[in-house]
Amino acid sequence: MTVDRRDRAVRAAVEQGLLTEDQPVTALIDVAGIRSSVAALRAAFAAVTDAPVLHAFAVKAAPLVPVLALLHAEGMGAEVASPGELALARAAGLPAGSIVLDSPAKTVAELREALGLGIAVNADNWQELARIDELVAAGPTASPVGLRVNAQVGGGTIGALSTATPTSKFGVTLRDEGARERVVRACLERPWLTRLHTHSGSQGMALTRMTEGVLAVYELAEEINAAAGRRQIDTIDVGGGLPVNFASEEHTPAFADYTALLRERVPGLLDGRYGLVTEFGRSLLAKHGTVLARVEYAKSAGSRPIAVTHAGVQVATRTVYDPLSWPLRIAAYDAEGLPKAGPGVEQDIAGPACFAGDLLAEKRALPLLESGDVIAALDTGAYYFSSHYGYNSLPRTAVHGFSTGADGEVRFATVRTAQTVESIVAEAGGAERDALLGR
């Protein structure tokens, strides 16, 4: 989102009453921005390969039905990792052939449903593969079936998101003693196992390391196909994980940087012999979302100014619990939604939750915020407001998509309404009030 587009959207959101006494925090997503990121992704791959590529959006990054429908209209599929995510993708109208099911803990019922629908399934481990063996033996499936491989190429700067460490919980390992031989054998024994999948990590992974993971899986596919004497592995799912720059407006690295590296280091992957699947999430959406919140109070403690806002752990969970790994930029606006001017004053931007660590930013130099001002937490379009955290029974915020008409006016469409207090009570067992009495 450019600064100008964001400024206009914030002003319009305030003018059009999206921030109110009842809803003092809300979220915006930039429809044109999302479209341009999808176009950049598609163009980056089209520039390096003629092979068919399914770009499956990682639903966990923005589990919102209208967003999935928009991405599908732009030519994308969906990567899902739970029954809920699968239901969202289906509710968005995605056909089975554009959905890929990953997840480390699929039940037999989930596997049966996916194989029945013809959704691509990536087996995570040997026990899961044995379950799939039984299901495939019981009846044919239209689902492409793959095996998730942990190439064990190492982690990135954020341990919690590094999935290719030697001991990661994901996939079957490749470099442990005897592991490679076991993978090759398993594929040769199962002619229907036609895909390999790898996802080396998300934010914090260097492109070179992601590429090493893809190279390892490509070489494995070549070995399996040579041993099979045919092109058994016909598709390689390279996962997602392109990191996002949270420090400025720049979209770096670009999808084209990644595909250029793939072309340099893994040219055989792109020569048309393999279909491709990608599973990007954060890099498609992060830059296109903004959380807006009213400053309820401006106070000071130990000479530190503190702006107490309505945006905290419920919309920015990772940042609040792990601020060093997930710093967010904050922009300051006045009560009219105009950019706030003034000298930078170090202050804390606090959230509404009842623990001291509920801070979006600490000692951040911004124009001194006052009660009634508005703050914007930038680059929050993926894994932030879309993945609500219910601490303190704070409601899920509304989400509004915006676009600019030919007249330059910003128009909003409701993507998700805010959670009501009544629904919080209902979800907290409101209908079971007496369930524990008299026991």
Ligand X SMILES: Cc1ncc(COP(=O)(O)O)c(C=O)c1O
Residues interacting with ligand X, by CB under 6 A? 58, 61, 79, 102, 199, 202-203, 239-242, 279-283
Q: Indicate the residue among 25 and 262 with the shorter CB distance to ligand X.
A: 262
How is the chain split among helix, strand and coil, in percent rounded to 5? 35, 25, 40
Contact 186, 193 (CB under 8 A): yes
What sign does the CA torsion over 83, 319, 32, 51 have? negative
Q: Indicate the residue among 79 and 379 with the shorter CB distance to ligand X.
A: 79
Q: Indicate the residue among 200 and 309 with the shorter CB distance to ligand X.
A: 200
Q: Indicate the residue among 241 and 351 with the shorter CB distance to ligand X.
A: 241
For the bound state, the minimum distance from the C-beta of residue 371 to ligand X, rounded and expressed in Å, comes to 36
The single-letter code of the amino acid at 202 is: S
Q: Which residues pair with 122 in a beta bridge?
A: 146
Q: Comparing C-alpha atoms, which of 184, 262, 197, 266 is closest to residue 225?
A: 184
For the bound state, the minimum distance from the C-beta of residue 399 to ligand X, rounded and expressed in Å, comes to 18
Q: Which residues pair with 2 in a beta bridge?
A: none
Contact 235, 197 (CB under 8 A): no
For the bound state, the minimum distance from the C-beta of residue 37 to ligand X, rounded and expressed in Å, comes to 12
Q: Indicate the residue among 25 and 81 with the shorter CB distance to ligand X.
A: 81
Q: Indicate the residue among 158 and 306 with the shorter CB distance to ligand X.
A: 158
Contact 374, 17 (CB under 8 A): no
For the bound state, the minimum distance from the C-beta of residue 323 to ligand X, rounded and expressed in Å, comes to 19
Contact 330, 361 (CB under 8 A): yes
For the bound state, the minimum distance from the C-beta of residue 144 to ligand X, rounded and expressed in Å, comes to 16
Q: Give the list of residues 6+ apart from residue 156 with CB closer than 8 angstroms, or none.
A: 162, 201, 203, 204, 205, 206, 209, 243
- Cα separation, 310 vs 298, whole angstroms: 12
- Cα separation, 289 vs 301, whole angstroms: 31
Q: Indicate the residue among 106 and 282 with the shorter CB distance to ligand X.
A: 282
Q: Indicate the residue among 40 and 228 with the shorter CB distance to ligand X.
A: 40
Q: Indicate the residue among 142 and 160 with the shorter CB distance to ligand X.
A: 160
For the bound state, the minimum distance from the C-beta of residue 210 to ligand X, rounded and expressed in Å, comes to 10
For the bound state, the minimum distance from the C-beta of residue 269 to ligand X, rounded and expressed in Å, comes to 17
For the bound state, the minimum distance from the C-beta of residue 405 to ligand X, rounded and expressed in Å, comes to 31
- Cα separation, 428 vs 422, whole angstroms: 10
The single-letter DSSP state of residue 409 is -
Q: Comparing C-alpha atoms, which of 311, 328, 368, 322 is closest to residue 345?
A: 368
Three-state DSSP state, 112: helix
For the bound state, the minimum distance from the C-beta of residue 350 to ligand X, rounded and expressed in Å, comes to 28
- Cα separation, 364 vs 376, whole angstroms: 13
- Cα separation, 334 vs 207, whole angstroms: 39
